[in-house]
Structure 1
Amino acid sequence: MAKQSSNLGHQARKRFGQNFLQDHGVIDRIIRSIHPKPDECMVEIGPGLGAITEELLAATDGKLNVVELDRDLIPILRTKFFNYPDFVIHEADALKFDFNQLASPGQPLRLVGNLPYNISTPLIFHLLKHVDNMRDMHFMLQKEVVDRLAAGPGENNYGRLGIMAQYYCQIQPLFIVPPESFDPRPKVDSAIVRLTPYKELPHPVKEVKTLEKVVRTAFTMRRKTLRNALSAMISAEELDALGINSALRPENLSLADYVKISDSITDRAK
């Protein structure tokens, strides 16, 4: 596949987890997967040197918000895309950025990003807080993170990230991106994933904070049985009364099971 060899004189920074996508075949496939349109509110996280940015601008008539932390990249982006008056750069840390401010009534956000490996998991948890204002998210992530997002009960990668992401979103892994598509090359495969927030949650919980606490507590001690892992929150007798075997391990329970446990704890607290 043809590659864009220039990095515009910018040295990728390890502390920002920068790996710049350079494979035009992969970029084209990402854009086709997203299918951006001019009347949509597109937001790119971590545009880097603008490889995906360029194609998004072409597809959206130049309307694009980007969130970039590396201040050395911002003048490069401003120079490269100076002829797009509706190209807006937000110099900010995506982990702290309020994405709701970019949404407007009737125009939910569509997020895109080649997310740095070192912040991808906390960033996804941060973005899940904004799903009410999102239509979808398309991210490039370490393949292992995509596997965790999509995993189901009983699978090795199943855990807190997947359960909470699946509570809010439909998860669809799209395709794998090999290390040679980047400069510098990462040591692992990457993958593109689509997260589509549900219009109606399939398993709504009474108190989402309780669900978060139950799941976090359970997987802190994932090798223990539920009766031991959740003993501070719910008794083995209560679990059995809910039809959940207290001798199971946390990775054996479905999202619906965790919602059932959380609702029981919430009801008891009232």
Structure 2
Amino acid sequence: MNQRASLRAHIPRKRFGQHFLVDEALIDAIVREIAPKPGEPLVEIGPGLGALTQPVLERCGALTVIELDRDLAARWRQRQGVTVIEADVLTVDIGALADAAGQRLRLIGNLPYNISTPILFHLLRWADRVRDQHFMLQKEVVDRMAAGPGGKDFGRLSVMLQWRYAIDTRLDVPPEAFDPPPRVDSAVVRMVPLATPPALDEALLSEMVTVAFSQRRKLLRHTLGRWLEQRGFAGTFDVQRRAEEVPVSEYVALVQAL
């Protein structure tokens, strides 16, 4: 059964943010970017009707899928070579999956746009157990993930992901590539965990960056400057800038100094 025929048999559920990829040329391009190989521990988040799952499975022979929709999970249990975890990905212990595989995981998926940021932060804690991640996301989110300092897209998401991953936008995907079409453009992003990430307190970095970007239009002396004073920070840091003007490396150095 092809993708469009499958769609007639399954009604997309809005509460799961379901938009199914149906453009065959784009599917082929995404699979080429992933380049799956036999023996690799691949985990797909939200396989849906299998637009990516099927061609990836043909290349690697086996993979694990995380699917919350019970009807779709039941379909995938019938497929040879597919291990199904019927759960919300936000509750899944990715580290345990890596332990079971005995090697770092490769994560792929068309993430539900309504909870894509929480998923990215959930996965962040297991970056050291992951080889790479290829995700379809709302293009606006991908732009923020990959943005450099100085632009409107650079923000908390940029800092919290770039300190840990090399992030690269691979493909742009228009709404008409999906059924039903979303109201936004999409993009495919590649995330590769840094081999030697800086040692820091991630919770403290998150708190600090949240404070810094809490009032984007104001100089940092009104937000981060006061936060640093309350912590008795005795070092030097230029707070006569706006949060989006500070490179990731400076945020990292500051939290390490604290």
Counterpart of 1:255?
248
1:147-182 CA deviation, whole Å, 9 max, x = no partner?
A: 000001111111111111111100010010111110
Q: Please, which moves more after superposition, 217-226 or 245-254?
A: 217-226
Counterpart of 1:215?
209
Counterpart of 1:98?
93
1:48-84 CA deviation, whole Å, 9 max, x = no partner?
A: 01111111110112x10000011121222234x2xx1
Runs of 4+ displaced beyond 3 Å: 238-241
For residue 207 of structure 1, what is the amino acid of its counterpart?
D
Please point out which of 159, 174, 180 is paired with 2:176: 180
Percent identical among aligned pairs is 48
Question: Using the alignment, how far apart are the partners of 2:255 and 2:148 within structure 1?
Answer: 19
Counterpart of 1:268?
none
Question: Using the alignment, how far apart are the partners of 1:78 and 1:241 within structure 2?
Answer: 57
Seen in structure 2, the aligned counterparts of structure 1 residues 39 and 137 have a Cα distance that, compared at 3 Å, is: same
- How many residue pairs are counted as aligned between the two chains? 254
Structure 2: runs of 5 or more not aligned: none
For residue 189 of structure 2, what is the amino acid of its counterpart?
V
Structure 1 SS opposite 2:213: helix
Question: Using the alignment, how far apart are the partners of 2:85 and 2:104 within structure 1?
Answer: 18
Question: Using the alignment, how far apart are the partners of 1:232 and 1:69 within structure 2?
Answer: 43
Please point out which of 112, 134, 147 is paired with 2:143: 147
TM-score by length of 2: 0.93
Structure 1 SS opposite 2:4: coil
Counterpart of 2:219?
225
Alpha-carbon contact 2:64-2:85 (below 8 Å) kept: yes
For residue 246 of structure 2, what is the amino acid of its counterpart?
L
Counterpart of 2:59?
59
Could you tell me how far 1:205 is from its partner in structure 2?
A: 4.0
Seen in structure 2, the aligned counterparts of structure 1 residues 106 and 75 have a Cα distance that, compared at 3 Å, is: closer
Alpha-carbon contact 2:167-2:192 (below 8 Å) kept: yes
Structure 1: runs of 5 or more not aligned: 266-270
After TM superposition, the structure 1 = structure 2 runs for residues 74-113 of structure 1, keeping only pairs within 5 Å, are: 74-79=73-78, 81=79, 84=80, 86-104=81-99, 107-113=103-109
Alpha-carbon contact 2:163-2:252 (below 8 Å) kept: no
Could you tell me how far 1:239 is from its partner in structure 2?
A: 7.9
1:72-99 CA deviation, whole Å, 9 max, x = no partner?
A: 21222234x2xx1x31000010112111
Seen in structure 2, the aligned counterparts of structure 1 residues 24 and 207 have a Cα distance that, compared at 3 Å, is: same
Question: Does residue 1:161 correspond to 2:160, yes or no?
Answer: no
Seen in structure 2, the aligned counterparts of structure 1 residues 175 and 24 have a Cα distance that, compared at 3 Å, is: same
For residue 183 of structure 2, what is the amino acid of its counterpart?
K
Question: Using the alignment, how far apart are the partners of 1:210 and 1:156 within structure 2?
Answer: 24
Q: Please, which moves more after superposition, 130-139 or 252-261?
A: 252-261
Could you tell me how far 1:117 is from its partner in structure 2?
A: 0.6
Question: Using the alignment, how far apart are the partners of 2:181 and 2:77 within structure 1?
Answer: 26
Question: Using the alignment, how far apart are the partners of 2:180 and 2:14 within structure 1?
Answer: 10
Could you tell me how far 1:183 is from its partner in structure 2?
A: 0.4
Alpha-carbon contact 1:4-1:23 (below 8 Å) kept: no
Seen in structure 2, the aligned counterparts of structure 1 residues 69 and 106 have a Cα distance that, compared at 3 Å, is: closer
Q: Please, which moves more after superposition, 254-263 or 170-179?
A: 254-263
Could you tell me how far 1:18 is from its partner in structure 2?
A: 0.4
Structure 2 SS opposite 1:152: coil
Counterpart of 1:27?
27
Counterpart of 2:70?
71
Structure 1 SS opposite 2:95: helix
Could you tell me how far 1:33 is from its partner in structure 2?
A: 0.3
Across the aligned residues of Structure 1 and Structure 2, the Cα RMSD in angstroms comes to: 1.8
Seen in structure 2, the aligned counterparts of structure 1 residues 8 and 41 have a Cα distance that, compared at 3 Å, is: farther
For residue 191 of structure 2, what is the amino acid of its counterpart?
L
Question: Using the alignment, how far apart are the partners of 2:212 and 2:159 within structure 1?
Answer: 12
